[in-house]
Amino acid sequence: MAAIDTDVAILGGGCAGLSLAVRLAGSGLRVTVIEPRSGYEDDRVWSFFRTRPDPFAACVRASWSKWHVSGAGETARRGSNHLRYESVSSGAFYRLALQICDAAPNVDLRLGTSVLADPRPPAMDGPWRVETNSGQLTSRYVIDTRPTGRTSGYGQSFLGQEIRVGFDAFDPDDVPMMCFAAPRPDRVDFVYILPFARDEALVEVTTFGPEIPDISDHRHWLNNEIAQLACGQSYDVLREERAFIPMVLPRRGPPIAPARFAHAGLRGGAARPSTGYAYQRIQQMADLCAAQILRGADSIDLRIDSPVTRFMDGVFLRVLQRRPDRGPALFSALFRNAPADRLERFLSGSTAPIDRVSVIASVPPVPFLREVFTG
């Protein structure tokens, strides 16, 4: 094999790229992370139902054992003695990941470096070639975790602000996961609140729909929601986050990846198509990817969803896209009817038949059967 600059080139140093680099830190492999940012900010939180360990447990900012959804005058309350709904602070995550990478002599984090073109595949058993604004890099493996750049199509759009008020406005033990607005014919709207303390919370307005709402509309909606939560009193805005997460129908079959190459993170389908949950799935992908690289695999397989899971997600998404006005009722039925922990495990990627059956039995069957036979 021709001489190479590094064993593993990780394109993108966000959550997925750094999660993989941390797994490879201290190994006998040379790892190079290419990230266009010159620095990191505490710009978001990642939330999920904890079903597996990962190296970033110290970065959990808050966890809850109760959550609920509400709409049309009804509230479906849930909780668990076994599962926790957790939020990881991106600031703490980045600090820990950078500390681990800086301490590992085999990891080279190149901030302020951009990839200029798609990596060029190897000839025969030669290296991959990656063109960057600081020159060409050759590598045995390339793992591409860069953002997809998608800003259109069906997806989840949200705008949120972390606020602090001057009184006890929130219940720090219970997450209002989905507070639905009135049903609409074109999209599903809800408010999501993470109560970090009695006087502090992240408040987000969220839309599932075919188009990204105008930012001014989302901001007006968010300002109104916060004003009500603050009872018209003044409040401090600690930070703001905004994002679009594609909710893409699963492919019938995964594309065949070239040797020693893989897409990971959101680019690799880490966001659950039917919900947008991504953090814990990114950690699962990082475990899979690191294990295969460390054993020298030529083919990197990061599929984490079974065909049955992809099928169920596809049916649910088609129902949501064709009848968004039914969205609030469908989500409410899920949270109201599913047995304890079953729904939460399913949302976290469980493939256990009992969890799948419980979820299927928790929703009205007619719209889903229609999609199965006509979709």
Residues 236 and 280 in one domain: no
Residues 32 and 16 in one domain: yes
Residues 184 and 228 in one domain: yes
Q: Looking at the domain assignment, is residue 300 inside a domain? A: no
Last residue of a domain, one of 235, 267, 294: 294
CATH number of the CATH domain containing 279? 3.50.50.60
Per cent of the chain over pLDDT 70 is: 96
Q: Looking at the domain assignment, is residue 71 inside a domain? A: no
Scanning 152-235, the segments in alpha helix (DSSP H) are 215-229
Residues 21 and 145 in one domain: yes
- pTM to 2 decimals? 0.94
Average pLDDT over residues 230-251: 89
Q: Looking at the domain assignment, is residue 31 inside a domain? A: yes
Expressed as residue numbers, the domain containing 289 is: 6-64+87-149+250-294
Q: Looking at the domain assignment, is residue 255 inside a domain? A: yes
Q: Looking at the domain assignment, is residue 78 inside a domain? A: no
218 with 209: CB under 8 angstroms?
Answer: no
Residues 51 and 126 in one domain: yes
HSE-CB for 65 with a 13 A CA cutoff: 3
Residues 263 and 130 in one domain: yes
- Tell me the pLDDT of the chain averaged across its residues: 92
CA dihedral (264, 265, 268, 272) positive or negative: positive
pLDDT of residue 255: 56
Residue 209: what are its φ and ψ, rounded to 5°?
-170, 175
Last residue of a domain, one of 264, 294, 324: 294
Closest CA to 271 of 98, 101, 154: 154
Residues 124 and 219 in one domain: no
Residues 290 and 356 in one domain: no
Residues 48 and 163 in one domain: no
Tokens of 87: 């939020």
Rounded distance between C-alpha atoms, residue 227 and residue 214, angstroms: 20
Per cent of the chain over pLDDT 90 is: 75
Average pLDDT over residues 113-130: 91
pLDDT band at 252 (very low <50, low <70, confident <90, very high): low
**How many domains does the chain divide into?**
3
Q: Looking at the domain assignment, is residue 108 inside a domain? A: yes
Residues 263 and 123 in one domain: yes
Residue-wise pLDDT tens digits, 144-154: 999 887 777 88
Q: Looking at the domain assignment, is residue 92 inside a domain? A: yes
Q: Which residue carries 């001014």 as its tokens?
A: 216
Rounded distance between C-alpha atoms, residue 260 and residue 299, angstroms: 6
Residues 117 and 19 in one domain: yes
Q: Report how far apart, in Å, the C-alpha atoms of 262 and of each of 6, 146, 265 are.
A: 16, 11, 10
Residue-wise pLDDT tens digits, 278-332: 999 999 999 999 999 999 999 999 999 888 888 888 888 889 999 999 999 999 9
CATH number of the CATH domain containing 225? 3.30.70
Q: Looking at the domain assignment, is residue 183 inside a domain? A: yes
- Strands of the 200-209 sheet, one edge to the other: 74-79, 66-71, 174-180, 188-197, 200-209, 155-164, 236-246
Last residue of a domain, one of 294, 327, 353: 294
Residues 229 and 271 in one domain: no
pLDDT of residue 312: 87
Q: Strand 261-263 to strand 135-144: parallel, antiparallel, or no bridges (unpaired)?
A: parallel
pLDDT of residue 133: 97
